[in-house]
Amino acid sequence: MSVDYRHPLRLGLLLTPGDDGPEAAVERARLGEELGYDLVSFRPGVSGLDPWTLLSWTAARTARIHLAARPGGPGINPAVVARAAASLDLLADGRAELILSAEPGLGEAIDIVRGIWTAHLRSPLSFAGEHHRLAGAERGPAPAHNLPILVTGTPDPALLRLAGTKADGWLRPPADDSSATGGWAGAEGWAGAHAAIDQAAVAAGRDPREIHRLTHIAGRFTAADDNAGRFTAADDGAESSLTGPPERWISALLPLILDQGVSTLILTTDDPATVRRFATDVAPALRAARGEIPRPERVPSLYVRRHRRDGIAYDAVPESLAGSAIEPGDAGFGRVRSTYLRGGSPGLVLRPGTPSEVAEAVRFARTQPVKLSVRSGGHGISGRSTNNGGIVIDLSRLHAIEILDKATRRVRVEPGARWRDVAAALSPHGWALSSGDYGGVGVGGLATSGGIGWLVREHGLTVDHLRAVDLVLADGTRVRADEEENAELFWGVRGAGANFGIVTSFEFEADEVSEVGFGQFVMDASDTAGFLERWGAVMEAAPRDLTSFLIIGRPRLGQPTVAQIMAVVDSRDAETIVARLQPLASVAPVLDYSIQVLPYEAIMNAPQAPHDGQGEPVTRSALAGHLTPELAGDVGRLIAGGLSYFFSIRAVGGAVADVPPDATAYAGRSANFQLVAFGANRRALDSAWDAMLPHFSGLYINFETDLRPERLHDAYPDAHLRRLRALKRRYDPDNVFRDNFNITPGPDQARSQSSR
Ligand SMILES: Cc1cc2nc3c(=O)[nH]c(=O)nc-3n(C[C@H](O)[C@H](O)[C@H](O)COP(=O)(O)OP(=O)(O)OC[C@H]3O[C@@H](n4cnc5c(N)ncnc54)[C@H](O)[C@@H]3O)c2cc1C
C-alpha cells in the first residue's frame, strides 16, 4: 500500500570537502544551486574542514538553496547549536535546516533548541534533564522561519518514536542497508519505519504529514544496465549505492517517492559529473512523476495549532498568503507581534507581497470576526498596527522605491518602505521628500495622515507632495486616486487615509534638496515657560528654510530642566546656516551644541531593528497657532509636575499654510506648532491635557493615542468630517477599517462611540 504525505519533492546534495580546499567545496554547493538542487549539506572529511563554517560561507554565496547544518559529534550543547542554527537561518533569510544525529538525550536536545528559539518569551530558559541541563539561559535569537529539525539515524524504534513525537523529519542515513528489513530500498523497510513514525505522531496529537521523510542516495552512472537498477553496497561497502544508466536510477527511486512517501533525496557525491547527470537526466523525471502538490508547504505543526487564537479560520487563509503568514506559534512571531511602541499579540499576521495579495488579505480579513490592523512601518504612535488576537495586514514586503520621471521628480514608493530608504534613494538625484524626523518611520502611516518633517516649513507636509495613490478598498477592489480620478477619495487619503483603504503605492513629487545644515543644542530650560515662548517667537519669525523641533525630558531632582533643540537649515551655505541658528542659540543658556553640514539622507539614517514595544503608549497631541504665555505656562507646569517624561514640539507653519485648509483632509494649516506629551499615567495626562484644550487649534492624529471620538472633532473641522463620513459611506460602509481614529459611516456616531 502506498503512502503520500503531500510533500513536494526535494533533491539535495551531501558534500564531503576534500583536499582541494574550502572554496572548491563551496563551489560544488553553488553548482548544486545552479542545477536546481533544493538542499545542500556538508559532512566532515579527510580535509578536517568544519561543515558548519562551510555552510555559512555557502549561505553568503547562494540565494535559493536550503542549507542543512549538522552539528558534529556527540556531546553537543543544544543551546549553542540552537543559536548557531538560528543565526545561520537569519543570515540565509530562512534557508537553514538542522540535522541532529541519534544519540542519548536527543529528545531533550530538541526541547532545548526549540526553547531557545522561542525568543518572544521573556522568561529565561531552564531545563533539568537526564542528559542536558540549563539554568536560566537567555532565549533567542529566533530563526527567520520555522526551521525544521530533522533527526537522522537507522530505523531504531526509539528514534522513529522520537521523530514522530518531536521532529520535523527523519533522514535515513547513508549506510543503512539493512537486509533484515527488506533492504534499504525495499518496501518493508520503509513501510515499517513510516508506520512507526505515524503512530507516534498520532499518539502525540500531531499530523503525520508534519514529519518529512528524507533519505541519502549514492551511486554511479554507467552506460550498461549492469546492476538492473538495484541499490547495492558500493565497492567500499560504506554507502548504499546505485549503479546503472539514468533510467535505472529513475525506476529505482520512483517507488520511494510515489509509494513510500519519501520526499527528499540527498545525493552523496562530490563528483561534479554525477551531480550534473543526476540533475539533467534523473531529476526532471522524478519531479514530473511527483507532479505539483496543491498547498504543500503548510502543514501547521501541533505547536502552531496549539497557539492559534479563537475566531480566525486559519485553514481558509488564501493560498497566496498562507506561505508567508505568521501565526503565534511560528518562529518569526516575536518579530511581528508588536509595534515600535505598543505590545501586541495578534492571532495572524498576513504579509502580502503584491497589491493583489493585499486585496486577497482584505477580502479574507473582513470575513473574520476579529480586529483588523494595517501596518506599514509599525511606528504608529497609537499602536493600532497591532492588536490582541486579531489579524494584521503587514505591508513590509511592499517596499519598492522607483523613480518614475526625472524631469518632474516623480517617484513611486510602496507603503512598507521606511523614510530612511526613501531619503537614500532620492539623495543621488539631489532630491528629498520632507517626511518626519526619524528615518525608521514607515511610508504608509505617515503619508496617509500628514508628515511634519525636517523641511516642513520650506517644503510643506508630506501629503502636499502626493500626486496619486493606488488603494485596496474595503471590499477588496483596487482603485487609483489623484486630482482627476476619484478626486474626493484622494482628498480624504491626504489626512485620513487609514479610514478608506490600504494604500499600496504612493506617487510623490520630490523637492530639490542637497546638503543641509543640522544644528543640535542642549539648553538649560529650567525656566521652561520662558524658554518655550522665546523659541516659539524665534520660529514664527524665522525664514522658511529653518525648521526646528524641541524635546524636553522629565526634570530630575536638583538638576536643571534640560531641553534639546534640533534644527535643519535647507542650505549648505555656512553663513546662512549660522544666521538661521544664531537666534535659536539665544533662547536659553547653551550647555552643548553641534552644527554640521550633511546630506539630508544622513539625518534620516536610523537603525533597523525588530519592534519590541510593550504595554500601551500614552500620549496626547495638539496643534497650536502660537506658544502663548498661557500655553507655555501650562506646558511648564505639566513637565515640572512629572506628567510627561518626554515632551516635544515641532515647528510647522511656512509652506504648510500656503495650502488652503480645505484642500486636503489634513486640516491644521494655520498652526505654527505641533505638541506631543508622552506620559505614563493615562488618566492624569488626559485630565491635564483636556484642561489645556482651549489653547489648541487642532490635532495631528499621528502623535495621539487618545481614541475617544472627541478627538476626531479636534482633528477635523465639521465640514471636513461631513466630507469624510460621506467618503466612508461610499468606500467603507461596513467600517472594515475602524481600529484607529475611526470616522464612522453614520452622521453623528463620532460623538457617541468610543473605540477604547
Ligand atoms: C520615533 C518616531 C518619530 C516620529 N516622528 C515623526 C515626525 O517627525 N513627523 C511626523 O509627522 N510623524 C512622526 N512620527 C509619527 C508617524 O508619522 C506615525 O506614527 C505614522 O503613522 C507611522 O507610520 P508607520 O507606517 O511606521 O506606522 P504603522 O504603525 O505601520 O501605521 C500606523 C497606522 O497608519 C495606518 N496605515 C498604515 N499603513 C497604511 C496604508 N498603507 N494605507 C492606509 N493606512 C495605513 C493604519 O491605521 C496604522 O494603524 C514619528 C513616530 C515615531 C515612532
Q: Is the CB of 456 under 6 A from ligand 1?
A: no
Ordered alpha helix ranges (H), 204-329: 246-258, 272-277, 283-290, 302-306, 319-322
Q: Is the CB of 444 under 6 A from ligand 1?
A: yes
Distant-in-sequence contacts of 79-85, Cβ < 8 A, 24+ apart: 79/112, 79/113, 79/116, 79/125, 79/134, 79/137, 81/109, 81/113, 82/112, 82/113, 82/114, 82/115, 82/116, 82/117, 83/116, 83/140, 83/141, 84/52, 85/113, 85/143, 85/147
Is the per-residue pLDDT at 748 higher than 60?
Answer: no
Q: Is the CB of 54 under 6 A from ligand 1?
A: no
Q: Which of 338, 385, 455, 603 to mutate to test the pocket of ligand 1 (most atoms within 8 A of CB)?
A: 385
Is the per-residue pLDDT at 483 higher than 50?
Answer: yes
Distance 499 CA to ligand 1 centre (A): 14
Which atom of ligand 1 has the smallest separation from the CA of 441?
26
Distant-in-sequence contacts of 182-190, Cβ < 8 A, 24+ apart: 183/231, 184/231, 184/240, 185/230, 185/231, 185/240, 185/252, 185/255, 185/256, 187/255, 187/259, 187/260, 189/155, 190/256, 190/260, 190/261, 190/262
Q: Is the CB of 381 under 6 A from ligand 1?
A: yes
Q: Which residues contact 158 (CB under 8 A, 6 or more apart)?
A: none
Distance 307 CA to ligand 1 centre (A): 29
Q: What is the pTM of this model?
A: 0.89
Q: Tens digit of pLDDT for each residue in 187-245?
A: 557 889 999 999 999 999 999 999 999 999 988 898 876 555 455 433 333 345 788 89
Whole-number pLDDT of residue 498: 97
Number of other CB atoms surrounding residue 161 within 10 Å:
18
Indicate the angle between helix axes 528-541 and 574-585, nearest 10 degrees: 150
Q: Is the CB of 652 under 6 A from ligand 1?
A: no
Q: Would you place residue 646 in the very low, low, confident or very high pLDDT band (cuts 50, 70, 90)? A: very high
Distance 380 CA to ligand 1 centre (A): 4
399 touches 390 (CB < 8 A): no
Dihedrals phi, psi of 78, to nearest 5 degrees: -60, -30
Q: Is the CB of 362 under 6 A from ligand 1?
A: no
Q: How far apart are CA 225 and CA 228, in angstroms?
A: 6
Averaged over 385-389, what is the pLDDT?
97
Whole-number pLDDT of residue 72: 74
Residue with CA nearest ligand 1 atom 47? 498
Q: Is the CB of 619 under 6 A from ligand 1?
A: no
286 touches 253 (CB < 8 A): yes
Q: Is the CB of 547 under 6 A from ligand 1?
A: no
Whole-number pLDDT of residue 79: 96
Q: Tens digit of pLDDT for each residue in 659-693?
A: 999 999 999 999 999 999 999 999 999 999 999 99
Q: Is the CB of 415 under 6 A from ligand 1?
A: yes
Dig out the grid coordinates for 111 from the structure.
526541547
Whole-number pLDDT of residue 435: 96
Q: What does pLDDT average to over the chain? A: 92
How buried is residue 755: exposed, middle or buried, by Cβ count under 10 Å (0-12/13-18/19+)? middle
727 touches 665 (CB < 8 A): no
Q: How far apart are CA 71 and CA 501, in angstroms?
A: 49
Q: For residue 632, give the 3-state DSSP assignment.
A: helix
Q: Is the CB of 707 under 6 A from ligand 1?
A: no
Distance 514 CA to ligand 1 centre (A): 25
Q: Tens digit of pLDDT for each residue in 698-731?
A: 999 999 999 898 999 999 999 999 999 999 999 9
Q: Would you place residue 611 in the very low, low, confident or very high pLDDT band (cuts 50, 70, 90)? A: confident
Q: Which of 702, 705, 712, 741 to mutate to test the pocket of ligand 1 (most atoms within 8 A of CB)?
A: 702
Whole-number pLDDT of residue 606: 82
Q: Tens digit of pLDDT for each residue in 419-445?
A: 999 999 999 999 999 999 999 999 999
Residue with CA nearest ligand 1 atom 53? 379
Residue with CA nearest ligand 1 atom 17? 446
Q: Which of 441, 463, 621, 705 to mutate to test the pocket of ligand 1 (most atoms within 8 A of CB)?
A: 441
Instruction: Give me the amino acid identity at 460.
Output: G
Q: Tens digit of pLDDT for each residue in 537-583?
A: 999 999 999 999 999 998 888 888 999 999 999 999 999 999 999 99
Closest CA to 167 of 149, 192, 180, 193: 149
Q: Is the CB of 555 under 6 A from ligand 1?
A: no
- Quickly list DSSP for 432-468: E----S-TTSBHHHHHTT----TTHHHH--GGGGEEE
Q: Is the CB of 390 under 6 A from ligand 1?
A: no
Is the per-residue pLDDT at 752 higher than 50?
Answer: no
How buried is residue 319: exposed, middle or buried, by Cβ count under 10 Å (0-12/13-18/19+)? exposed
Distance 544 CA to ligand 1 centre (A): 25
Distance 441 CA to ligand 1 centre (A): 6
Residue with CA nearest ligand 1 atom 52? 379
Q: Is the CB of 371 under 6 A from ligand 1?
A: no
Q: Is the CB of 352 under 6 A from ligand 1?
A: no
Q: Is the CB of 312 under 6 A from ligand 1?
A: no
Percent of the chain with pLDDT over 70: 93
Of residues 47 and 36, more confidence is placed in 36
Distance 39 CA to ligand 1 centre (A): 40
Is the per-residue pLDDT at 179 higher than 50?
Answer: no
Q: Is the CB of 495 under 6 A from ligand 1?
A: no
Q: Which of 342, 349, 354, 375 to mutate to test the pocket of ligand 1 (most atoms within 8 A of CB)?
A: 375
Which atom of ligand 1 has the smallest separation from the CA of 501?
43
Distance 749 CA to ligand 1 centre (A): 25
Is the per-residue pLDDT at 401 higher than 90?
Answer: yes
Q: Tens digit of pLDDT for each residue in 277-336?
A: 999 999 999 999 998 765 555 678 999 999 999 999 999 999 999 989 999 999 889 999
Considering only the C-alpha atoms of the chain, give the largest distance between any 2 of them, rounded to a whole number of Å. 99
Distance 329 CA to ligand 1 centre (A): 27
Distance 732 CA to ligand 1 centre (A): 21
Whole-number pLDDT of residue 223: 82
Whole-number pLDDT of residue 746: 79
Whole-number pLDDT of residue 234: 38
Q: Would you place residue 175 in the very low, low, confident or very high pLDDT band (cuts 50, 70, 90)? A: low
Q: Would you place residue 47 in the very low, low, confident or very high pLDDT band (cuts 50, 70, 90)? A: confident
Averaged over 37-51, what is the pLDDT?
92
Is the per-residue pLDDT at 590 higher than 90?
Answer: yes
Distance 714 CA to ligand 1 centre (A): 19
Is the per-residue pLDDT at 183 higher than 70?
Answer: no
Dig out the grid coordinates for 402 from the structure.
522607483
Ordered alpha helix ranges (H), 135-290: 157-166, 187-203, 246-258, 272-277, 283-290
Which atom of ligand 1 has the smallest separation from the CA of 700?
11
Averaged over 105-116, what is the pLDDT?
96
